[in-house]
Structure formats: C-alpha cells, structure tokens
Amino acid sequence: MNVGISALSCFLPEHIISDDEIAFRFGRDYADKILPMTGILERRVASGEECASDLAFLAAKKIFDNTAITPGSIDLLVFGTQTGDYIMPSSACLLQRRLGIPTTCAAFDVNLGCSQLVYGLGIAHSWIKSGMAKRALVLSGDTPTKLLDSSDGATVSVFGDGAAAVVVEEVSRGGILGFDFGTDGMGAEDLIVRGGGMRSFHLKRKMEMNGVRILTFALKDVPSSVERALARAKVSISEVDLFVFHQASAVVVKSLAKKMDIPDSKVFLGLEKIGNIGGSSVGHALAKAHLEGRIRDGSKVVISSFGVGFSWGSAVLEWSGEGYGGTFL
C-alpha cells in the first residue's frame, strides 16, 4: 500500500508586521543588519482573539470547500501545536466538533513545535498502513507571536503565525517513501516558554531563544536525519528534485544547503512574506513550491522540520499527479 498526501492547504492571518515597523521599533540600523540573516520582510500576526485552532480550522475548510473530500470521510485528526486553546481539553477535540467530523474519528494533539507537521504525517502514515484509519486530516498551527517579548528584536523580527492542513490516504503510486525522527532534550533550554505549565505556572509566558545554539543543532543533526530518511526510502541525494527545510530563517536554510552541498536550484526558500511560522512552515513552503511549478508529477521531495525540543523529523515524498489538487494558500 502506498500512502501519500492527497490535498494540502494553508492559512495565514491578515495582519502584517512589515520591515518598516521593525525599523520603527528597533531602529533602521538593526533592521538592515538582521534582514540578510532572516530573509524576512513581513510577518503574519494573529489578532488578539485569534488562536492556532482558528487558523487550522480555516486551513482545513479550504480543503473541504474546494475538493471532493468531506468532513464525514475523515477518521483520524492529528493537530500539531504548542499554543493550544486550553491546557485541557485538546484543541483537536474542538476542531473535530467545529469541522463537523464524525464522532467515530480519533482526534488528538501532538505537543511539538517546528517538527509538528512531519510528526503528524508519520502518525497518519502509520495508522493508515496498519488499517486503523483510511483518511487522515493532519493539521499544524501555532501563534508564537503571542509569546514574544515585544522588546526582543531577535524573535519579533523572525516569528509569524500560521497553519497548514494535509489530507493523507492511500494513493496508487508515489506517496511518502521514508521517514526519520529524532529528539535531543539537551536543547530544551535553548527555545523555551517557561510560564504556563505545571512546573512554572506562575511565570509569565515569554519566549526565550538562543539562536546560535539552534543553528548549531540544525547543522549537526538535520543533515544526518535527511540521510537516514533517504536511505529508508532507497533514494539517493542526487535523485531529489527539491529540498524543503523548515523555514527558520534564510541563514539556517542556506547554511544547511551549504553543509549538505545542495545547489541553490534544489532548495526552496519562501519565508520572505510570512516569517518563521513554526511547524506549519514546511506545509506552506511545500504548497508554495507546488503552485510555483517547482514540484511536478514524479518529483522527489525531501521535507525536514526541526527546532524546539530539540526535535526533528524528515520525510521523502514522491509527488503524484493524481493528488495535491487541493493545494491552496
């Protein structure tokens, strides 16, 4: 049985923080200095009442409104997020009800950040392969901007909000060819929100980030993760048509490409107008690459997500012309 993506969509909030606003808040010199590193001119920001589940709902609704896929056909819903509506219940339960998906559907959250979409794909792939599900809706979404310290230019200039929705099911050819996953909890302190959990419920919820340590981790662990996924898929690095890395920043993506000796023509970079939207960045980049014609029927694509945790996941896909008809941005 081949299992792959049959529909893909994304949703971004309307409000934009421009490069001019970053310059106004932190100074033009700072904005001009940081732009080459981030590659970001605009960031999308959720409104005060807008939550990650709202963004994920609208991403999923694009699929249901524009394809033959119906809520009634979904029997597994996985929602990757670290900014859920509540500590309990899981936001996946709220989305099941709101989307009109039957109560016979299994629904749960995956509490991961930047790696969430690849992990969700892995879960859906396994459930379908084992016969526990036939059609899965994998959602990812976060609103990291609600956790930022407004005086911290290093995070304010990088992060944006967004969501992605992917339908996974049996396909006649191609699909997901191989995975690799990994975790290194030694990096937990390098990207953390201390307040809000049971260990530090009394603390304010503000994101702390050590960008240098995250780049070091990515350069150390991501290339080997990609290599393992390729080996499991029995695909050589030269056979890959496009690499879609987590869109953390321009310097991270370009550094990974250089470390792995991948030509620029095979690396997708598409965060200029949205910022780093965390776990949904790979979904957005994949959809954008497809719409721009960078991915075609039969293309072999590597996606790799990594970050907070530290946590990472890589997957090898073979694009199939029979699916992906629901690619919307």
Distances (CA, A) of 300 to 119, 126, 217: 19, 21, 26
Q: Annotated catalytic sites, by residue? A: 114, 246, 276
Q: Which residues contact 82 (CB under 8 A, 6 or more apart)?
A: 111, 112, 113, 116, 142, 278, 279, 308
Angle (CA) 135-289-256 rounded to 5° is: 105
Give which of 287, 297, 303, 302 is closest to 246, Cα–Cα: 303
DSSP-H helix ranges across the chain: 19-26, 28-38, 52-66, 91-99, 116-130, 153-156, 211-233, 250-259, 281-291
Q: Report the 10 Å Cβ neighbour count for 192.
A: 16
φ, ψ (nearest 5 deg) of residue 37 = -80, -40
For residue 18, give the 3-state DSSP assignment: strand
Q: Cα–Cα distance between 191 and 188 in angstroms, integer? A: 6
